[in-house]
Structure 1
């Protein structure tokens, strides 16, 4: 393993990667001069760059022999040559025409992928529908269960019951790392599915607020682990070119769950005082097919790689890719990066990995990025809409039916406008979506808050409030809605992916719990106008933080992102002020059409070792 051709990731006594000048791999004959943990030159480097063809084929032969893949040696030779020169595959003589047709289609028909991949993404993402459905079930239940349990005047206790899943999910996210290590991605999704079947159903049979609280805490325990694992699973199985569009299916199904939850609220509201029991318990439905159908999905090939189950990993990649050559390319490329990570982190414990997400620069920057998008999502105020839209519309003067119908409209808009992100998140980019939507979300909240100042007897009051809430939601759904789970699941290296995503989800659940717990009191103390204005201000704070500190990750492989997050944060921030802002002013304020934006990142090694400009942070 020490002969791997990847850059050195040697870890020093301070638990940091250090740069070794002139380090040369014995088999690769390349000088490893760019330390990806401190990528000051902002270069994204192909780890196979510079290896001679005979040396590369010899390494692949040894790799296949070591991992019992000798019958696939010719396939892996093709795959390794393709990984070394992906843009020059037409000139690789080992590839036949059938291979080249399949490779061309990765660009010309990038959505044409095996059914097993779409099936796996759909089954995994279905688990997130429970989260959205429960939010809206609680939304409708807020109109009745506080009265039944005699706590309608205790806004803190009502908030505590609503926020219970997020509170228990705070700690359960940390269990995701050892559970994934022991039973794999599929096993975790199955186990957590049980937690969102029985406790969810149990809510319908509670007779006091504390038994309802216990059920919601148990449900949240499973949801915290599930929310951590599902984006990891989907990010590890999909190709880089459409990773954002498929991983964001997590958020799409959350939006679907929200919509179905509002439909459920409308269906059951006529039952009367018992309606809340059905509204809360109905959310168990999506979990039933998950616990059965998940076993027909392929396991994450990168998790299998991490467990040194290379044959199983290759079989999994073959089910998820259009040809064996492409599967071999992706496996060998991931292997090159993995062996160095493993060498650097061999024998690390859970506690050490938890410490390393703060101490190792490359991982710390990924941790910062994951934290930023999770905090920004909660700053947007969307969870307040999910939990309390019925309360908000009731404050606007609507009756129960009008309140539920207005909330249903919120869920419908949230679902419909999630679809554009499937295409824009991998073309427009994660960062650009956020920078465009946050300022617009802020003024929508201000406008909605101001509409509460319209006299209650004015018939335009409720429609105007609903309009600006819906417009806010339409901007949220393709922006900060899908981005956080996509971003957090892709930014960490394989060695720290579970613990890194767990920390990101921990932050998200912490803020969600705090906001869910405090919003009834904020609404009571500040009034709707003040509460909406408060969240509008938080939206603008999120905008500024994203502008300076959040790197773009679109269309990069999970392995290439090591170099993206190797760029120092201060260099990224300096680029925005010294390069991007002057360009923006020249291009869009002074209308200088010849203004040229110098890209931040450069890619080496895709075309015979040349340097190719690949992206500028907009």
Structure 2
């Protein structure tokens, strides 16, 4: 059944509890997205308070990514040890505290410090949210539910852009950017409360030998005749493997999955998405828009991001992961070419400026149906159970590291060689990304996590010679 049909017949096909878990777990993405988006508008006003150079703007933006690398590095291991639910709650608390810390920062150094602290929560959230969804969702809707994480990221970005617009004026004598950063405490509180209603995942419970608890959770997630079979299959996989660590990622049969996960992590960032999400208002002011007009234009980017991610949810379990990745990277390459060209033409504040803005919209749209959601979905699917959290942590740390490099260097690069050449460099990388995806990335649609692991062991699902016909395989 295609994704549209599955979602329309949700109550008949699957327990509503499946969707409730996915919705709460995806709130991790809301925190993730809010923190990405809020700094873009806040920078316009932080700069007025602390007189930032282009380099210091990069430091403020990318300092969160240092924390995110730390959170991603420990989040996977902690979720393997203590469970997905506990790590989710801890991340929400850290994010809540960090929001207050940033808003009350008396100096630039304190602002950077609290950005790092909040980044720890963002990094952990980027791992544990997809894990919770992947390990509770039925195979036939795992893709669509997995995309809820990315949908919530885009909603978080849009919420941040809206917050930036609403709190741009100073209120009660408090500078607007402080209100922008403080508002992040609200979604953090919602996630912390929502965690109360989350169960631990059946796969983690089986891994820890808590079979009765796993059966109880599955009884609320699956039809009765599926429970014993699924537990038996999870145990079969779990009992053949000891709990693994980083060294296990280098085993020959796991290495192809490591290459795919790390490769997609680098591609997602070096394709340039955060040059738009972080710096859209800055880019728009350079084109000739005023501060408020730039924030309105950024809102439009946020809407495109949300709408196209919703479209991707309807496509991922219908057309597959690989086609979305290939179409998306090709479209991004073309749009970055157009965007770069716009900066070589005169009159950016006129029609060329709006063409440039339109290319930004389309670029974000292509990202939203491909690299944005598919990366996080695939790294929750392709790794073996016994190292899934650790492996996802490695991919996520790589992603945040690449994000840090882009966030720190983009504005200085623009200052050195100009916007046009900078965007063309990113476009060239999208071309390389297309080649990597075509030759290395497998299809995982309509396959259980255990089947994907079996195929990985047989070296048929992940790697350079991945079977291109796998989208036709079903459970």
Give the conservation status (yes or no) of the 8 Å contact 2:80–2:390: no
Give the conservation status (yes or no) of the 8 Å contact 2:441–2:466: no
Matches within 5 A, 1:472-551: 472-551=363-442
Matched, 1:203 2:102: yes
* 3-state SS of paired residue (2:319): coil
Residue 55 of structure 2 is aligned with which of 134, 156, 161?
A: 156
Residue 325 of structure 1 is aligned with which of 225, 233, 253?
A: 225
Residue 336 of structure 2: aligned partner: 445
For 1:128 and 1:110, the matched residues in 2 are separated by 23
5+ residue gaps, structure 2: none
Matched, 1:375 2:266: yes
Give the conservation status (yes or no) of the 8 Å contact 1:373–1:483: no
For 1:107 and 1:400, the matched residues in 2 are separated by 41
Give the conservation status (yes or no) of the 8 Å contact 1:369–1:550: yes
* 3-state SS of paired residue (2:199): coil
Residue 82 of structure 1: aligned partner: none
For 2:6 and 2:215, the matched residues in 1 are separated by 19
Measured after TM superposition, the shift of residue 217 of structure 1 is 0.7
Matched, 1:455 2:346: yes
Give the conservation status (yes or no) of the 8 Å contact 1:361–1:566: no
* 3-state SS of paired residue (2:371): coil
Give the conservation status (yes or no) of the 8 Å contact 1:369–1:549: yes
Measured after TM superposition, the shift of residue 108 of structure 1 is 10
Measured after TM superposition, the shift of residue 164 of structure 1 is 1.2
For 2:161 and 2:194, the matched residues in 1 are separated by 26
**Structure 1, residues 232-263: CA drift from partner, whole Å, max 9, x if none?**
11100001111111011111000000111111
Residue 180 of structure 1 is aligned with which of 79, 104, 124?
A: 79
Distance 1:399 1:177, change over 3 A: closer
Matches within 5 A, 1:415-434: 415-434=306-325
Deviates more, 1:296-305 or 1:112-121: 112-121
Give the conservation status (yes or no) of the 8 Å contact 1:240–1:557: yes
Distance 1:116 1:384, change over 3 A: same
Give the conservation status (yes or no) of the 8 Å contact 1:553–1:564: no
* 3-state SS of paired residue (1:362): coil
For 1:448 and 1:230, the matched residues in 2 are separated by 33
For 2:30 and 2:77, the matched residues in 1 are separated by 25
Return the TM-score normalized by structure 1: 0.72
Residue 559 of structure 1: aligned partner: 450
Give the conservation status (yes or no) of the 8 Å contact 2:340–2:421: yes
For 1:120 and 1:375, the matched residues in 2 are separated by 29
Q: Which has the higher helix share?
A: 2
Distance 1:218 1:575, change over 3 A: closer
Give the conservation status (yes or no) of the 8 Å contact 2:130–2:376: yes
Residue 233 of structure 1: aligned partner: 132
Residue 222 of structure 1: aligned partner: 121
Residue 354 of structure 1: aligned partner: 246
Return the TM-score normalized by structure 2: 0.93
Residue 31 of structure 1: aligned partner: none
**Structure 1, residues 273-325: CA drift from partner, whole Å, max 9, x if none?**
8111111221221110211221212210111101111110001011112x221
5+ residue gaps, structure 1: 1-104, 581-598, 603-612
Distance 1:457 1:189, change over 3 A: closer
**Structure 1, residues 117-167: CA drift from partner, whole Å, max 9, x if none?**
1111111111211121112210001112123113x22x2222112111211
**Structure 1, residues 206-231: CA drift from partner, whole Å, max 9, x if none?**
11110001101111112212211111
Residue 364 of structure 1: aligned partner: 255
Aligned residues: CA RMSD:
2.2
Residue 58 of structure 1: aligned partner: none
Measured after TM superposition, the shift of residue 106 of structure 1 is 8.4
Matched, 1:290 2:182: no
Residue 276 of structure 1 is aligned with which of 164, 173, 177?
A: 177
Q: Kindly tell me the number of residue pairs found equivalent between the two proteins.
A: 467
Residue 36 of structure 2: aligned partner: 135
Give the conservation status (yes or no) of the 8 Å contact 1:140–1:390: yes
Measured after TM superposition, the shift of residue 107 of structure 1 is 11
Give the conservation status (yes or no) of the 8 Å contact 1:130–1:284: no
